[in-house]
Amino acid sequence: MTSQSTATELDSATELNTAPGLELRLGRLADPRVAQAIELVWHEATLLDAKAYEDWERLWTADGKYVIPIDPETEDFEARLNMVYDDARMRRMRVTRLVEGYSMSAVAAARTARTISRFTVGELTEDAVTLRSAQVLVGFKREKHILLAADLTHRVRFTEEGALIDLKVVRLVNSDGAVTASGFLL
C-alpha cells in the first residue's frame, strides 16, 4: 500500500464520518457516560465468565431487575411470564445457589466465553444510559458445547457509588422454544 493510497483511504473515512446524521450517532457513543456504561457491561461479562458471582451481584442497584423474558417483544415484565425475573432478593438466592454448590446448576458448572458487541444507545440522561447490544455465549459442560445468542438491554445508573446496573434484559433468540438448563448466569 502506498502512502498516497493510504491518504485517499483516510480522506474517504473522513467523508464517511461527516455523512448527515452520523455525527449524532458517533457523538452519543463517544459520550463519557456511554463509554463508562459499555465498560461496565464488558466487566459484567468478564465476571460472569470467571464465575465471580458475588462480585457480579455488587454491580447492581438495590432495586435493579434481571429479566429473561419468554416473549421476545414484551416490555411489561411484571405482567408476563419470564424465565427469570429477579430483584435483589432473588439475585442473592441465585448467587447463593451457584456459589455454595448445593444445586444441580452449580455442580460441574459450564465454562463460558461470551462476546458482547453491536452497542447502540437507547436513552441517555444525566444519571442513566440505556444500551442495547448483542451477546453470543458459548458454554462447555460435560464434553458438550452450548451456544446461546441474545439481544441485551442494560440500563446503567450513575450513583454516588459509581456506575451500577439498574436493569438487564436478556432476550434469547430461542426464548419461545426449548431452552436447556445452562448452569450459569446469562
The predicted structure's pLDDT at residue 176? 80
The predicted structure's pLDDT at residue 159? 96
Mean pLDDT along residues 6-24: 46
What's the grid cell of residue 3?
Answer: 502512502
What's the grid cell of residue 181?
Answer: 438448563
Closest CA to 91 of 116, 67, 115: 67
Beta pairing class for 144-159 and 111-124: unpaired
Please, what is the angle between helix 22-30 and helix 32-49, to 10°?
60
pTM: 0.82
Q: Which of 2-11, 17-26, 81-90 has the lowest mean pLDDT?
A: 2-11
How sure is the predictor about 85, in pLDDT bands with cuts at 50, 70 and 90?
very high
Contact 61, 184 (CB under 8 A): no
DSSP character for 109?
A: P
The predicted structure's pLDDT at residue 178? 75
The predicted structure's pLDDT at residue 73? 92
- Nearest-angstrom CA–CA distance, 151 and 116: 9
Domains of the chain: 31-172 (3.10.450.50)
State which H helix or E strand residue 88 sits in.
Answer: helix 88-100
- Nearest-angstrom CA–CA distance, 186 and 51: 11
Mean pLDDT along residues 129-150: 92
The predicted structure's pLDDT at residue 56? 97
- Nearest-angstrom CA–CA distance, 4 and 19: 23
